[in-house]
Structure 1
Amino acid sequence: MSGNAQGESAASHGHAMPRDVAESVAPVVRAMADPLRLQIVSALAGAPGGRLAAGDVASLTELAAPTVSHHLRSLREAGVVTAERRGTWIFYSLAPGMDRVASSLLDALARAASAPHPADDVDEPTRLDVDAALSHAVERLVARFPQLSPDVVRLVVRESGTALARTATVTTHLPVLAERFAVQRLEDLLAAAAAEGATSPADGAAPREADGGAAPAPGVPTRPRVLFVCTANAGRSQLAAALLRRLTGDAVVVRSAGSLPAARIHATVEPLLAELLGPEAEEPFPKPLTDDAVRAADVVVTMGCGDATPVLAGKRYEDWPVGDPAMASPDGVRAIHDDLAARVAALAAELLPAAPTGTER
């Protein structure tokens, strides 16, 4: 019997994967739900002898070595890959039995991605408009971030658009959101470089303060930077970020992100965010977690996604066991809000012990 026939038969009889089996394979699926990790798995599946040295794995991407190590560690913890040390070399290979799983999965995904669209699946006619809008965004941000090379700005804008498009259900507002996301990423890039004592990729000049303003004078402290991370960036992390912005105004740089961002903010959370941010604020949207956001942060707060967040030296990490509002009742969402409000207030008092709190609109 074919795979399709088996699936249809199971569906017709109401069969589904047993819960214990689903729970055992879910970590594998989560671990592979990243473009870089799929590249690593596909490279290992096709490597001579089925293994690659650590340096060969790193050459698959231009990301920093700690980020690549983080992805490899996640794959190892999920049981997707194994590592073997031989002298001074570390070789990675797919875990026993995972080679067949990886080959079947990657082949199926490749066929699905390259398959022709059904006759009733009409592409949006705005693709060219999106490309043109992103090109205009590049021009604006090149002028806004003269510390960075135009190639860096162009790459970040394009990557931001691609990342958001993976979960977008409608692309009408994609260029606007991509530009907003790119601004945050470029600011984080400069902040991370400044914190690490690096120079700007553009011309060797020291980066300015992360929001595009002038670098602070010697002896003037920079603003604390806080990153809230949850899985979907559609509920808890968005609420926490909005609460901290309301409390501290511009005194703290606040970011939020998701390890597997959703297509939109949870409907249960939208009213609370509107109440916290006010009618004139830009509408929040889910964003993927980036390496530079972690590098730029002073404090990283995770909520249910600590295993997907890179752990870097010199950062303060906290994990808040806060409920997920996605499926909560209105009373449950309000309780989650109150729990977060107490935690955020305590964090704000630590970050700004002598400063009065304000309200950002």
Structure 2
Amino acid sequence: MSDSAAAAAAAGADDDDPVVAEYDVYITPDMEQQQLYVLQYLNRPPDLPFTKATDSQPTELRIKKQSGFIEVDVPIDIHQHYNRTAGVQWGEAMRKTKGFGQKAFGIASGFERTMPRSTNRPGANDGAPPAPIAPEDDDNMEEYVTNFDDANEKGHVLNTQTFGGQIMQDDGKGPSYMLGTFRDEQLHLTRLDGVVQLRTQFHHLDAAAQLEAVHRRREKEAQEGAKPAEPKAFLPTVKKTGGDTAAELTQSFMKSTNLETWNKLQYSDENSDVAFDTYNERLFLPDIAAAPKLHSSQTNSSFLDAISAPSSGKGGKKKTTSRRGADDLIDISDDSEEEEDAVEKQPVTL
């Protein structure tokens, strides 16, 4: 090793954590009319984003604001490595269950199923709005598989994959996440309204199971006959509201989730003009010169008290650190070895 290389290595050894770059940090103001979420696709490789460039731009994004559920539909390549027969079966299950009123599946629906009523039940619709009717079974599966492209255009094929999750909002107890964007020597921070971890949803399997339940019910009614609606005596009772047990809270949440409707949002690709305009307007502080400076509300001594480990004094009160200056050095010594030596030298009498 040359003398210059040895000197450079010695200099690097003296400074294990050098300052690489410095940035001016700015915080953008909160905007009530806009919500900022980070969607994390846990089952998707980072080098294959859902974008127009990869032929996988999401076709629909919907949200249930109160319960916090979000679902994203992503197109599937149905012409490569695709089981057409299964795709038609699952597509028909989704189409038929949605046809008689099922608007959501799984936990986003509160695990509720919308079951159709039979038309031959006497008095089933008296004084009530007509219930959705299950579509009749068809024998066109083979035709749909044969004319696959035409069946896909008419909605008989499962051609989307759904990702879903629930918003993890800032409850004030955990960390507060911020999104950082760089511009020259500036770092702009924007507070996130929540993080969503999206996983693959198997709504087509839920729809197939629901359709099988409908078929079993119809077969049972065909064998035993539909039971007419009969008046039943009832005893009015007063139910306690506002239950605070875990079961009651869960039941109330599931019920409200099922009643809540989806709000569909407009999805823009990351390389679109709308995305770039929103990025520049939302994630950067527009007027840097007028930005107020942040001032700490703590002194050096109060900061030391806040980060120091709690220790009990008289009366169980926390001891506070002595008021030292910012440049005062604290001499910390370890007397454990001296104490051990003292213990070893003490005579022991039995």
Into which bin does the TM-score normalised by the smaller protein fall?
under 0.3
> If you compute each CA radius of gyration, which structure gives the higher value, 1 or 2?
2
Higher helix share: 1
What is the TM-score of this pair, normalised by structure 2?
Answer: 0.19
What is the TM-score of this pair, normalised by structure 1?
Answer: 0.19
Higher strand share: 2
Q: Which has the higher contact order (CA 8 A, sep 6+)?
A: 2
